[in-house]
A and B are shown apart, each in its own frame.
Chain A
Amino acid sequence: MVTFTLNGQERTFDGDPDTPLLWVIRDFEKLTGTKYGCGIAQCGACTVHLDGMPHRSCILPISVVEGSEVITIEGVSGKEAEAIKTAWAGLDVPQCGYCQSGQIMSAVALLQMVPKPTDADIDGAMTGNICRCATYHRIRAAIHNAANSMEG
């Protein structure tokens, strides 16, 4: 039995302890904003915050999540999250939209750590998130816009 916190609520899981966090979130908790894209931590569509840090939930066995706090796109909040979501909408960043939960979770974590990121900071934080629609140009601009909106 694994006990963890999901978006602020205590949850338990008593299935196969090897089950990746991604499938616990999606299949058992029915929170489908977190996406499957590759299963090997190459695309970042499954990015969630684990104890405040971005992680690829597709390779994280639920057994190691014991006692941790998990935040998904459905539960992410705070000024960085609000700034990022507003900036995303302002530039109409998403195209197909499938990778965007993961992009947003990585971007929010970046702003939480680096309130005023440079282009190099953005490259460092966002390179693990693939967007096959290649919305990267707007992702970069939206992160800068979000950072600017948080000033003052």
Chain B
Amino acid sequence: MTLHDIAATRRGFLAGSGLLIGVAIAPKFLAAAPTGVQAGGDSALTPMNAFVKIGTDDTVTVLSKHIEFGQGPFTGLATLVAEELDADWGQMRAVHSPTDNKIYANLLFGLQGTGGSSSIANAYEQMRKAGATARAMLVAAAADDWKVPASEITVEKGRIRHAASNRESGFGAFAEKAALQTPPAEPKLKDPKDFVLIGTDLPKLDTLGKTNGSAIFTLDITPDNLLIAVVAHPEHFGATVKSFDDTEARKVQGVVDVKQVPQGVAVYAENTFAALKGRDALSVEWDLSKAETRSSEELSADYVKLFREKGLEAAGKGNVEEAFNASGLQTVEAEIVFPFLAHAPMEPLDAVFIKADDGSVDIYNGAQFPGMDQATTAQILGLDESKVRVNTQLAGGSFGRRAQFGSPYMQEAASVYAASDRSRPLKHMWTREDDIRGGFYRPMYAHRMRGAINADGEIMAWEQVIVGQSIMGKADLDQTSVEGASNLPYAIPNLKVTSHNVPLAVPPLWWRSVGHTHTGFAVETFVDELFEKIGRDPVEGRLALLKEEPRHAGVLRKAAEMANWGGHVPEGRARGVAVVESFSTYVGQVVEVSVGTDGAPHVHKVWCAVDCGMAVNPNVIKAQMEGGIGYGLGAVLFDAVTLGKGGKIIQSNFHDYRSIRINEMPDVEVEIIKSTEKPTGVGEPGVPPVGPAVANAWRRLTGAPVRKLPIVNIVSA
């Protein structure tokens, strides 16, 4: 499918859509958009009514303010709308909303954006109200047409009925008339006990296109006359172009131009292969004067030195110094080092730029913060923001990678487009090598743990020092460095958690579950070691310290029950457990591990219990637990981006930045705790527990605690 096909589809859609609930379309951009895909005119809608469109063919299209890159917001948000609209699931559709930081704001962020496992949590009432509003307007339209009281009209599975007069209609017939009704000031929402769609395993709306090749991602947008651009990047962070020779590159058949941009040297070509071949033929000399030239090993040594310096206080309870000095205590210590991690989404970063006749520009990309992408690109292109339309596309994964303050990737893409004469549409793409070496990693961290146990086997004191980059770029305490540690759920009388922010030229970023990627590991492996020292069962031990934390205890008990904890474990295998709360969702996991043929842990099975409040779509929740477990496990077992001698990035592609594969994926069983609490997110919380659970099983199996990640390195060392 080409962009023109999309354009045709879109035009057909607009022509056929009778109702944009409550508001007439203000087509101020429609004429300007050469492609018609998600033209920005939609942004003229008012907030309460900007989310639902009803077609004359009875289809209901939800405009998702959140990007769909696998975590299920298209399905989840559509479920919320459909529930209150009393629609039939078969008539529901979802598309990305236009870009608008106000109308489509994430209510937890204050701007449009997807992340922090917040899509369902922030949109739960908003989308239900959007559905309820639409329902009320359809009913009002029908009542007016049928000359009957609105109170006598019922709606069920997409059918509007008036029983007394035996009249019935679909939504489409009343769509236009409904659009003229005054929306209710405060639409009535259902009592959760009356839900018919929320809480059921509705099939996902985006599955079909993803099983027949028709789903369009940014990389698939191929307008006529398209230029492809790739950029030669340095192999050191902080390096810049000193000089370059493009003689050979320009000789490559299909190469159109070569330009220097702030991020490196861009090659423009008629097709992707020519661009790649042209880039390979470039000769670039890099200026390393401002580059990071320390290796990961040297960085780690520098981090560990900071353990002895005074840090930023993240948590303080009781008197830790006094507690450690008390007599008759056993002190346990551990230092744990975490590597840089790349997100490595399947679709490397990319963007398409198309200039309209009036000089405005349509941008197509996997926009996680679309408003920020819009502001950033507008500035670089020298255009008013109103002249730049960011059209969010399906994206091949993100795991945090596409959510960047200041949109650094789009800075590069826009710089490349700006350096062309802009007469042709342009696609800027990264290769896998650009992705693995592109920075914005989960930062390196070093943790120092100290625990004190008294003669009665009680944990009396806990001290944790965390050293690493501040993802938020802060000089003072960064909560994303200490979350999960500073709010330690275990009842320990004396607690001290401090952190050190380390400045580094390697750009940091959040990576699926952010701080919990390392704090979850450090806390859950260390507490497990303490229980082993005391001789306490790791489940019983945890439960005894979680008396004030019923939701932690609930998922832990459930996971243990699922695994028949304490029951028979096959010869040569051991079990480990961990429980972590992240993004207000609670996940407990039990894993069963043996020593694999390569000497590394082989994980046979994961039992997972999750408490995310009310389950909107259990099937999606289970899928996110399964996927989160695989993603977290792969990283803990195999992954590190390493700076070698002189600071050069060592890894470059999937051969040395190893992804978990099907033969390494454990069997996963998931149960969801029944709850009436408001729903919380599931995109990230499946990740944190699996690493420590595996490390705990490994320690019990082999006697070797995991002090350095990934595990495969210590095994092979």
Contacts and interface: CB of A to CB of B under 8 A. Distances in A.
B272 A97 contact: no
A15 to B, nearest CB: 7
Nearest to A62: B273
A50 to B, nearest CB: 17
Interface in A74-109: 74, 85, 88-89, 92-101, 104
Interface string B394-414: 111111000000000000000
Contact of B659 (A20, A31, A130): A130
Interface string A94-137: 11111111001000000000000000001100110111111111
A64 interface: no
Given A23-B273, A89-B208, A134-B660, A96 B634 contact: no
Chain B contact residues, majority secondary structure: loop
Contacts of B660: 134, 136
A96 B631 contact: no
Nearest to A37: B346
Contact of B631 (A28, A88, A126, A132): A132
A73 B220 CA distance: 14
Contacts of B627: 95, 133-135
Contacts of A138: 623, 626
B623 to A, nearest CB: 6
B653 A98 contact: no
B193 interface: no
A133 B206 contact: no
B189 interface: no
A94 B271 contact: no
A32 interface: yes
Nearest to B203: A92
A18 B277 CA distance: 10
Interface stretch (B211-219, B257-265, B351-359): B211-219
Contacts of B273: 16, 18-20, 23, 27
Interface residues of A, number: 56
Nearest to A95: B70
Given A38-B653, A130-B346, A136-B630, A89 B662 contact: no
Contacts of B209: 97
Contacts of B173: none
Nearest to B253: A16
Chain A contact residues, majority secondary structure: loop
Contacts of B661: 126-127, 129-130, 136
B208 A36 contact: no
B276 to A, nearest CB: 8
B346 A98 contact: yes
A112 B684 CA distance: 37
A72 B213 contact: yes
B452 interface: no
Interface stretch (B296-304, B483-491, B663-671, B696-704): B663-671
Contacts of A133: 70, 346, 397, 627, 630-631
A32 B347 CA distance: 13
A62 B473 CA distance: 47
A113 to B, nearest CB: 17
A132 B346 contact: yes
Contacts of B71: 95
Residue of A43, A93, A97 most packed against chain B (CB within 10 A) = A97
Name the 8 nearest CB pairs between A and B, nearest first: A33-B213, A134-B630, A98-B396, A97-B210, A95-B70, A96-B70, A73-B213, A32-B220
Given A130-B346, A137-B626, 9 more contacts: A15-B253, A23-B272, A26-B272, A35-B217, A94-B210, A96-B395, A135-B623, A136-B630, A136-B665
5 contacts: A96-B395, A99-B396, A133-B630, A134-B626, A137-B626
Interface of B: 1-2, 69-72, 203-204, 206-217, 219-220, 222, 228, 253-254, 271-274, 276-277, 344-348, 394-399, 431-432, 619-620, 623, 626-631, 633-634, 653-655, 659-663, 665, 667-668
